[in-house]
Amino acid sequence: MPGLGVIVNIVAVLAGTAIGLGFGRLISERFRAIAFSAIGLAVVVIGAAIALGGLRDLGETRLGDYSALVLVGSLVVGSLLGEALGIEQRLERFGVWLQEKTYKAPLLSPGKADQPGEKGHTLVEGFVTASLLFCTGAMTVLGSLQDGLGDPSLLFLKALLDGTAAIALATTLGAGVGLSIIPILVLQGGIALGAGALEPLITPAVIAAIEAIGGALILAIGLDLAQIKRLPVGNMLPGVFLGAALALLFG
């Protein structure tokens, strides 16, 4: 059944988020803080590994030594575009709006912050962090393609990994992690539905570009979680699509 893998992936993320939220309430603020820092460090390492792996693979395509220029150019131009569109600010407003809607629902409360703005920020942080982690990488693209063609096995494996990661993330980042099912549904579901038409466009260079730029953004999120440096990751998101387009044209 085409699309079964996407459904299982979504259910796994929701289940992992629910478990993480329940477990997070059992942890005191002191232990939550150290867990937050540890997750931040882990995200930095994961992002660096994904970015370097993608950059290496991109260098093995026709782009060769120009692969670094694709990374830099996509991030710079994409960030300028994102800044012009105000993506980061829109995400922040979305988090505040969502928190206002869910403020009276204890199960959706993402932490112990006292102000709706702080909770909204946590929602956005959880949403962006989980979305990038779950939607960046070869397993996302290839698994969705295979699922659309009738083989969900790779997405089943991804569902197991994402569900486990969702538990850890939701423990400290809260309910925003569960919102990552939206891009999972849109991206993976879209690829699965259009598998036949999209397959020729998903070249090794495109996958490598997505991993390189997406990994860099994951690393940036890790720096924020580890309280090292906060970067406007939301405004940098267009860089992923720009890099994929450049890789498709020239890779």
Q: Could you read off the pLDDT of 204-240 as tens digits, one per residue?
A: 999 999 999 999 999 998 898 888 888 888 899 999 9
Average pLDDT over residues 10-24: 92
Task: Say which range, 78-82, 137-141, 246-250, has the weakest mean pLDDT.
Answer: 137-141
Of 28 and 233, more confident: 233
What percentage of the chain reaches a pLDDT higher than 90?
46
Separation CA 198–CA 189 (nearest Å): 12
pLDDT tens for residues 39-76? Answer: 889 889 999 999 999 999 999 999 888 999 999 999 99
pLDDT at 1: 73
pTM: 0.80
What pLDDT score was predicted for residue 121?
55
Range 47-79 burial, b when 16+ CB lie within 10 A, else e: beebbebbbebbbebebeebbeebbeebbeebb
Predicted pLDDT at 99: 66
Contact at 8 Å (CB) between 136 and 183?
no
* Cβ atoms of residues 249 and 64 within 8 Å: no
Between CA 122 and CA 177 the distance in angstroms is 9
Supply 163's token pair.
């569900």
Q: How far apart are CA 42 and CA 245, in angstroms?
A: 29
Give SS3 for 106.
helix
Query: Rounded mean pLDDT of the chain?
Result: 85
Total H helices, total E strands in the chain: 13, 0
pLDDT of 174 higher than 90: no
Give the pLDDT mean for 123-137.
85
Which has more pLDDT, 106 or 200? Answer: 200
Pick the closest to residue 167 from 24, 4, 7, 1 (CA basis): 24
The rounded percent of the chain whose pLDDT value lies above 70 is 90
> pLDDT of 75-119, one tens digit each?
999 999 999 999 888 877 776 776 666 555 544 444 443 333 344
Q: Which residues of 173-212 are buried (b: 16+ CB within 10 A; e: fewer)?
A: bbbbbbbbbebbeebbbebbbebeebeeebeebbbbbbbb
Distance CA 56, CA 138 (A): 14
Choice between 97 and 147, residue whose per-residue pLDDT is larger: 147
